Chain A
Amino acid sequence: MPMGRRASRGTPATRPASAHGAVTASTAPLRATFAERLSPVDDRAGAAGEHARPCRTEGSPARRPRACASTLAPRACGRQNGRVRPSRLPVPRCLVYAVGFAAAPLAAQQEARAPAAGAPVALAVFFWHDAPNDEAAFEGIEQGLVAGRVPHSFRVWRADSDEATAKRQLAEIAASDAKLVFAMGTKAARLARAAIGDRPIVFTAVTHPVESGVAESWERAGGNVCGNSNWIESAKMLQAFRVAVPGLTRLGIVRSAKNPVSTAELRQMATYLREPGAPRVELADEIVDDAGALAAATARLRAHGVQAVWVPIDDLVYENTALVLESLRGSGIPVVSSAQRGAATGAALGVVVDYRLLGERAAALARRILVGGAAPADLPVGRMQSYQIIVNPAAAERCGYELPLGALAVADRILDHVEAPGR
């Protein structure tokens, strides 16, 4: 159902239900959805959690593939813009339909083994903006609900970074019959917590829920909120950075003063470096107010003799990683980033969590609430133990830096080009 951005703004998108959920609004073939649900292993294994993407009918037409709207086939919805790798085994649509029909009996058997079969649970999904990591987390949520055999139906709201739209959409969510709300990302979680208090809110992909005001503490989010974070411990992050830059002793960071997440990242890193046994790494901090100051800040770090420049989870910085990269062109100083966007747009090495796995963990939280009857307030904010390493030899080469072979060997993803800013 192709819809223009203006016409669709604020209109919730319905999502075909899984094998256990109801389809509230969809023109997609049901058998194809069954086939998708019945082959979750293939989804994850084949695309490493990156290629499958939940179809949606809300949002900008430019970001909504037509194939997705018409077929709802996850593989056909895979982005081909280079940010993620293309599917290794692209499956033609007809084959998907055929598999779907053929797998229908197996789906029936699976349904028979489901512990709790019932009416699909209406679930609301709220996006503040369109972000690949949020989308990956949403895919993980969907995968997790399927794996947990939670019948559900999704209604998706996308605010497109517009406060008014967000406010209206949250009002609609509050008025809807959704039993649980998934808040995708920090901003969405903060707005959802402020707007909705009568039903559970499970947030995910929130880097620092405490610093951002989403949760009261890491042990207990408080209220009707629970969720998990994509926060990576400084020790692990630095360990990953040193994979890219062995013998790293002087690390520069560029951040904006207003961003609490990057501030928290820096503070935690500094705290860690003061711990006994921590590597001796000097931090050089440069604070900028706008993107125009990034070049000068990077030049100062370069003059300071840093061996790498860290682009933290700071939208002002990671959205302009290209400027940082340009300032470091040919310097032999690579960019490392803890933000997935930064890793895609210029970092030689990025350290991120597996957002799909993060979404699955969010689905598990939702299952505890929906199936197990757990109270959100009693659940701790989940944190990931694992992380992924994204290396970009092209970005490293642009800096005049040669990544060690070890970085290539341990990379979870290897990007072959530097993504243009703004995509």
Chain B
Amino acid sequence: MTGRRRWSGLTARMVALVVLAAALLGGFMWFAVGPRTAGAVAQATRPIVERSVVMMREGAHSAAQAQAETLETVIERTTESRLATLADLPLELYDGDTARIQAAIERQDRALAHRLVENVARLAAETEARAVERIEVEAAALLERQRELAAGVADDLRASSSFLLVGALVVLLGLLGVGLHRLVVSPVHELRRAMAAVAAGRLDVELTARGEDEVADLVRAFARMVAELRTSRTELEAKRTALAQLNQNLETEVAKKTAELQQALDGLRATQRDLVLAERMASVGTLAGGIAHEFNNLAGGIRGCAREMLARETESDRREPLEVIVRAADRAIDVTDKLLRFARPAPAGSARVDLGALVREAIALVEPQARQQRVSTRAEVGEELVVRGDAGALHQVLVNLLGNALQAMPQGGELDVRGVREDAEVVVRVRDTGVGIARADLDRIFDPFFSTRAADAATPGRGAGLGLAISYGIVQSHGGRLQVESAPGAGSTFTVRLPAPPSAIAPSA
């Protein structure tokens, strides 16, 4: 059954192609070469026939002309010869014997006639021989011409046959090529291309099997194999997708957890840092409060005594030192007051404070100084920046921060204040483009009496290193946090974070 199917498949198509080519070739031979050959032979033999006719005509003409010339020559020569011979005959030998003379002449004439008869026979033979020879020569020439023409026809036929053969071969090969290409090469090429695609991992190839031959069987088998592969691959892909999804979920979860952990850790660190700072600030505050309390008592006693003495002294020379003591005691009391505000800040009030308004006021306050230092200011403050606390203290914080910023930009710069609400906090960021703070100074920037610049005698209280410490203490007392971010040459940003009060509370200032 398989053998029969194969025979009816590819082999049968090949045989059909060959039969078709043979039929085309035979048809061309029958309808084109045959008539052309007949025409060529007729054309080639025509000159021979024409030449034969011409030869026969010429032969007849020349023979007639030769015969006429010969007869003319014979008549002339015979007449002349006869007369001359008669003249030469020694007739005197016959002594006038007419009979003998007549006999002699007759004898001569008979000899002449006899010779002529012989010549005629010889002439006929020679004429025939020459005609035969001429005919043979002409025939040989015609035969040679015929051979040449035949050779020419043969060459033409040979050339035609060669062209025809080549053409038929080309057609046959073309048909076979087309057939082979259509039946074998194309399916095999398509199959090879499909194999390459499958080998490259692409299983979306489409294979169409034509016919029932071996190649079609092979294509169908490969198509089935590709379909099975495609099914397997789909299943595998689904499994892989599921696995990847699982992995992705896992990674997301891990990242989330990690972020949460990192946030928690950051919170812990900030809390720790705040705790440490608060701890340290509390210790410093305790110490500073104790010292300030004791020192304030002493300075109060000194200033009271000095004032009594100044009241009783009239002498100007003696009053001037007393006045100096009074002023120094005033300053000492002022410093101790500050230390006491740092160490024991007043409890934050519960009044509703519009922090945005405080920001604008503070900026308006430092604006002249800013213009003087060619510092541009910009403030962006939200509408709902309301906290609960001491408005004056918070105003002092903002003024301290703005003043520090201007002090960091003696050659000009930009001062940017933004007030926003972030979640449950009201955040005010004061950013300057000043000289920045060294890393080593950041941890100590809120310590009392720590300053990055020398004290200015003209501005007592400034440069004493108590502004940030006091501000820190105020913010702390409001339950907020004061943070700093800075780098040398890149400016500094101080952030005040205060807990946002319930929205129903109306602001007091």
| A and B interact physically | yes
Neighbouring B residues of A364 by C-beta, 8 Å:
90, 92-93
List 7 other contacts, CB 8 Å, given A386-B85, A409-B77.
A147-B104, A360-B93, A406-B69, A408-B119, A409-B73, A409-B119, A410-B119
Answer whether A386 and B88 are a contact pair too, CB < 8 Å, given A364-B93, A406-B70, A409-B119. Answer: yes
Q: Give Cα A405 to B74, complex, Å.
A: 10
Query: Is A357 in contact with B110, judged by CB distance below 8 angstroms?
Result: no
Cross-chain contact of A41 among B81, B103, B122 (Cβ < 8 A): B103
Whose C-beta in chain A lies nearest to the C-beta of B90?
A364
Whose C-beta in chain A lies nearest to the C-beta of B107?
A41
Answer whether A45 and B107 are a contact pair too, CB < 8 Å, given A115-B95, A144-B90, A405-B123. Answer: yes
Neighbouring A residues of B87 by C-beta, 8 Å:
385-386
Q: Which of A36-50 contact B (CB under 8 A)?
A: 41, 44-45, 48
Q: Give Cα A115 to B87, complex, Å.
A: 24
Contact sample, A vs B, 9 pairs, CB 8 Å cutoff: A41-B107, A48-B111, A354-B85, A363-B93, A367-B93, A385-B84, A385-B88, A402-B130, A409-B123
Q: Give Cα A330 to B208, complex, Å.
A: 88
Query: Is B122 in contact with A406, judged by CB distance below 8 angstroms?
Result: no
Cβ of A153 to closest chain B Cβ, rounded Å: 18
Q: Is the interface of B mostly helix, strand, loop or mixed?
A: helix
B91-113 vs A, Cβ < 8 Å mask (1 yes, 0 no): 01111000010011001001100
Query: Is A405 in contact with B84, judged by CB distance below 8 angstroms?
Result: no
A389-423 vs B, Cβ < 8 Å mask (1 yes, 0 no): 10001000000001011101111101000000000
Cβ of A87 to closest chain B Cβ, rounded Å: 13
Neighbouring A residues of B74 by C-beta, 8 Å:
406, 409-410
Cross-chain contact of A44 among B77, B94, B111 (Cβ < 8 A): B111
Determine if B89 is an interface residue (Cβ-Cβ < 8 Å).
Answer: yes
Task: Using C-beta atoms within 8 Å of the partner chain, give the interface range for chain B.
Answer: 35 or more
Q: What is A's interface to B at a CB cutoff of 8 Å?
A: 41, 44-45, 48, 115, 144, 147-148, 243, 354, 357, 360-361, 363-364, 367-368, 384-387, 389, 393, 402, 404-406, 408-412, 414
Query: Is A363 in contact with B90, judged by CB distance below 8 angstroms?
Result: yes
Determine if B279 is an interface residue (Cβ-Cβ < 8 Å).
Answer: no
Cβ of A228 to closest chain B Cβ, rounded Å: 10
Neighbouring B residues of A404 by C-beta, 8 Å:
66, 69-70
Query: Is A384 in contact with B93, judged by CB distance below 8 angstroms?
Result: no
Whose C-beta in chain A lies nearest to the C-beta of B78?
A410
Q: Give Cα A112 to B278, complex, Å.
A: 213
Q: Give Cα A361 to B89, complex, Å.
A: 7
Query: Is B70 in contact with A409, judged by CB distance below 8 angstroms?
Result: yes
Neighbouring B residues of A409 by C-beta, 8 Å:
70-71, 73-74, 77, 119-120, 123
Cross-chain contact of A361 among B73, B90, B114 (Cβ < 8 A): B90
Whose C-beta in chain A lies nearest to the C-beta of B76?
A410
Most chain B CB inside 10 Å of its own CB: which residue of A115, A148, A385, A404: A385
Cβ of B68 to closest chain A Cβ, rounded Å: 10
Q: Give Cα A137 to B231, complex, Å.
A: 138
Q: Give Cα A361 to B85, complex, Å.
A: 12
Query: Is A147 in contact with B88, judged by CB distance below 8 angstroms?
Result: no
B128-150 vs A, Cβ < 8 Å mask (1 yes, 0 no): 00100000000000000000000
Cross-chain contact of A357 among B88, B95, B119, B126 (Cβ < 8 A): B88
Determine if B127 is an interface residue (Cβ-Cβ < 8 Å).
Answer: yes
Q: Give Cα A386 to B73, complex, Å.
A: 16
Q: Give Cα A364 to B91, complex, Å.
A: 9
Query: Is A357 in contact with B123, judged by CB distance below 8 angstroms?
Result: no
Neighbouring A residues of B331 by C-beta, 8 Å:
none
Query: Is A393 in contact with B81, judged by CB distance below 8 angstroms?
Result: no
B363-382 vs A, Cβ < 8 Å mask (1 yes, 0 no): 00000000000000000000
Query: Is A386 in contact with B122, judged by CB distance below 8 angstroms?
Result: no
Cβ of A401 to closest chain B Cβ, rounded Å: 13
Query: Is A408 in contact with B88, judged by CB distance below 8 angstroms?
Result: no
Cross-chain contact of A386 among B72, B84, B127 (Cβ < 8 A): B84
Neighbouring A residues of B94 by C-beta, 8 Å:
147-148
Cβ of B113 to closest chain A Cβ, rounded Å: 10
Query: Is A357 in contact with B89, judged by CB distance below 8 angstroms?
Result: yes
Neighbouring A residues of B81 by C-beta, 8 Å:
386-387, 410, 412
Neighbouring B residues of A361 by C-beta, 8 Å:
88, 90
Most chain A CB inside 10 Å of its own CB: which residue of B72, B90, B119, B126: B90
Query: Is A408 in contact with B123, judged by CB distance below 8 angstroms?
Result: yes
Cβ of A364 to closest chain B Cβ, rounded Å: 4
Q: Give Cα A404 to B72, complex, Å.
A: 13
Cβ of A267 to closest chain B Cβ, rounded Å: 23
Neighbouring B residues of A414 by C-beta, 8 Å:
118-119, 122
Q: Give Cα A296 to B122, complex, Å.
A: 36
Neighbouring B residues of A44 by C-beta, 8 Å:
107, 111
Answer whether A393 and B115 are a contact pair too, CB < 8 Å, given A148-B93, A386-B85. Answer: no
Query: Is B89 in contact with A412, judged by CB distance below 8 angstroms?
Result: no
The 6 closest A-B pairs by CB, nearest first: A386-B84, A364-B90, A406-B73, A148-B93, A410-B77, A385-B84
Neighbouring B residues of A406 by C-beta, 8 Å:
69-70, 72-74
Neighbouring A residues of B119 by C-beta, 8 Å:
408-411, 414
Neighbouring B residues of A385 by C-beta, 8 Å:
83-85, 87-88
Cross-chain contact of A405 among B85, B88, B118, B126 (Cβ < 8 A): B126
Neighbouring B residues of A148 by C-beta, 8 Å:
90, 92-95
Query: Is A405 in contact with B66, judged by CB distance below 8 angstroms?
Result: yes
Q: Give Cα A409 to B115, complex, Å.
A: 9
Query: Is B90 in contact with A393, judged by CB distance below 8 angstroms?
Result: no
Q: Give Cα A411 to B119, complex, Å.
A: 7
Answer whether A144 and B73 are a contact pair too, CB < 8 Å, given A41-B103, A48-B115. Answer: no
Cβ of B138 to closest chain A Cβ, rounded Å: 15
Q: Give Cα A386 to B110, complex, Å.
A: 16
Query: Is B73 in contact with A367, judged by CB distance below 8 angstroms?
Result: no
Neighbouring B residues of A389 by C-beta, 8 Å:
77
Cβ of B117 to closest chain A Cβ, rounded Å: 11
Query: Is B93 in contact with A408, judged by CB distance below 8 angstroms?
Result: no
Q: Give Cα A344 to B53, complex, Å.
A: 42
Query: Is A410 in contact with B73, judged by CB distance below 8 angstroms?
Result: yes
Q: Give Cα A117 to B475, complex, Å.
A: 213
Neighbouring B residues of A357 by C-beta, 8 Å:
85, 88-89
